[in-house]
Amino acid sequence: MEEFSDYPTLDQLRNAEQRNKERINLSNLGIPCANCSTEIRGRFAADPRGNLLCWECAVTSDAEKEAGIRVNTDPTQATISESHLYEKSLCDYVVNVATGCRHGCKFCYVPTTPGYEGRAEMLSEQADVDELQEEWGSYLLYRDDLPERLHEELQQTTREDLRDTERGQGVVMLSSGTDPYQDRRAGQITRGVIHELLFRDIPVRVLTRSSIVVKDVDLFKDAGDLITVGSSIPSFNEELVGALEPGAPPPLTRWEALDMLQLEGVPVYVSMSPTYPTMDEHGLHRLLTRFMALRAQVVFHEPINPRGENFGLMITALEEAGLEEQADEFRKLKDVEEWVKYALKQLNWVQQKAEDLGAPPIHSWPDRELVRATSGKLRDQLAAMRQSPSPEQFEETDDPTHSEAHRPLFEDYEQIDHLVEPDVIR
């Protein structure tokens, strides 16, 4: 244990962990609370300056502004939760290191999920949140002691004890409801959590838009095939991405972070989601060419889904950024027939381009409603895409082979026109 002052900051302690490549259990060191001087035994958190607080002081503190958003402590008990994201071949479990997200993506589904409504009272108390969806991106509640709590929870757990579905492969994903590397403090929680999971041979998927993920390259390299690190890159058009993902780093920065990791031998993947209606065949071709250079294990692809309040927020964000023409293209998707055509064409183009280029395998995510709006062979193939596992393997195996379900849907649209029935979902 290194020498610290009587009141070490959370940042100093987490830094020491990284330097020494070992976890320090901060729940039982007896560090005094910076506010009331009680010895910390059990739950704890930090204030925005990094001062360590006992749980009592942490949960009764008011939110403070930091870098333009309101931050505070997340009082949740949650650690690791089962997830339905096996349906997308992403994981069987998720760990979220915070509530809220600095990136504030306009299409983010998190504040619209049914469970999120149940947090309204807590968010109001901890971060003065009135409107969950509209204020998304303006608050962040950290779970500083999550690595310590996960350590306790997993004491008696091995990989065999966890759910392991064919599509989820027993993987734990960080994170589904926030960006695990959105800032230094979140990244420190994430590192501790990944450390705890890998220690028990539990496979991990990291999904982030932030380049500070590269600071953990040492941890990822030691994990071999038990980890994969990916980023969402829907387009390299900085203006568009900047309007729709206002707090996130530019797409090229994300690509560079993944490139750095793959050069170090870390398995990487890309989530090309959601691809915009402004993107044509050539745009998708250029995007895939760049992903080829990453030697990604898989590229997940999903067109935009225009349902829900957040689609309106996307259009407003484009208008506010002065991108009127692009806003019009998005607006057209409110017509079901337009959306079905756009989604089928983009899914097909991406599979076709990947086949022509010899690009990494594409794992398409066709929307459930899109399957309902089609018939015959087209419907069967879309349904098979939804059921198929991703080609990733989280252990030493021969080269993965990709499922036959993921291949082009048609040669040209006229061939399948009669199999499209948008009226079914109108």
Length of the chain as a residue count: 426
Q: Is residue 353 a contact point for ligand SF4 (CB under 6 A)?
A: no
Site for ligand SF4 in 363-422 (CB under 6 A): none
> Cα-flanking dihedrals φ and ψ of residue 5, to 5°?
-70, 175
Q: Is residue 314 a contact point for ligand SF4 (CB under 6 A)?
A: no
* Cα-based distances in Å from 59 to 46, 49, 187: 10, 16, 21
- For the window 236-275, what string marks contact with ligand SF4 as x by the rule CB under 6 A? ------------x---------------------------
412 CB-near residues (< 8 Å, 6+ apart): none
Following DSSP, what letter does each residue of 130-182 receive, concatenated? S-TTTTTTSEEEE-TTHHHHHHHHTTT--GGGS---TTTTT-EEE-SSS-TTS
- The least distance separating Zn ion from the CB of residue 36, rounded to whole angstroms, comes to 3
Angstrom distance (rounded) from CA 173 to CA 202: 11
DSSP state of 415: G
303 binds, among ligand SF4, Zn ion, none (CB under 5 to 8 A by kind): none
Q: Is residue 179 a contact point for ligand SF4 (CB under 6 A)?
A: yes
Q: Is residue 317 a contact point for Zn ion (CB under 5 A)?
A: no
105 binds, among Zn ion, ligand SF4, none (CB under 5 to 8 A by kind): ligand SF4
Q: Is residue 298 a contact point for Zn ion (CB under 5 A)?
A: no
- The least distance separating ligand SF4 from the CB of residue 27, rounded to whole angstroms, comes to 27
Q: Is residue 58 a contact point for Zn ion (CB under 5 A)?
A: no
Site for ligand SF4 in 203-242 (CB under 6 A): 209
Angle subtended at Cα 275 by Cα 313 and Cα 254, rounded to the nearest 5 degrees: 95
35 binds, among ligand SF4, Zn ion, none (CB under 5 to 8 A by kind): Zn ion
- The least distance separating ligand SF4 from the CB of residue 3, rounded to whole angstroms, comes to 38
Q: Is residue 57 a contact point for Zn ion (CB under 5 A)?
A: yes
**Cβ pair 380, 404 in contact under 8 A:** no
Q: Is residue 302 a contact point for ligand SF4 (CB under 6 A)?
A: no
Using DSSP's 3-state secondary structure scheme, residue 314 falls into helix
Q: Which of 180, 185, 193 is nearest to 72 (CA)?
A: 185
Angstrom distance (rounded) from CA 275 to CA 301: 8
The nearer residue to Zn ion, 31 or 229, going by C-beta atoms, is 31
- The least distance separating ligand SF4 from the CB of residue 210, rounded to whole angstroms, comes to 8
* Residue of 108, 323, 327, 350 interacting with ligand SF4 (CB under 6 A): 108
Angstrom distance (rounded) from CA 37 to CA 46: 14
Q: Is residue 105 a contact point for ligand SF4 (CB under 6 A)?
A: yes
- Stretch touching ligand SF4 by CB under 6 A, among 98-106, 154-162, 193-201, 356-364: 98-106
- Stretch touching ligand SF4 by CB under 6 A, among 45-53, 56-64, 173-181, 220-228: 173-181
DSSP element (H, E) containing 291? helix 281-293
Angstrom distance (rounded) from CA 274 to CA 130: 28
**Cβ pair 136, 101 in contact under 8 A:** yes
Q: Is residue 61 a contact point for Zn ion (CB under 5 A)?
A: no
Q: Which residues bind Zn ion (CB under 5 A)?
A: 33, 35-36, 54, 57
Q: Which residues bind ligand SF4 (CB under 6 A)?
A: 101, 103-105, 108, 110, 177-179, 209, 248
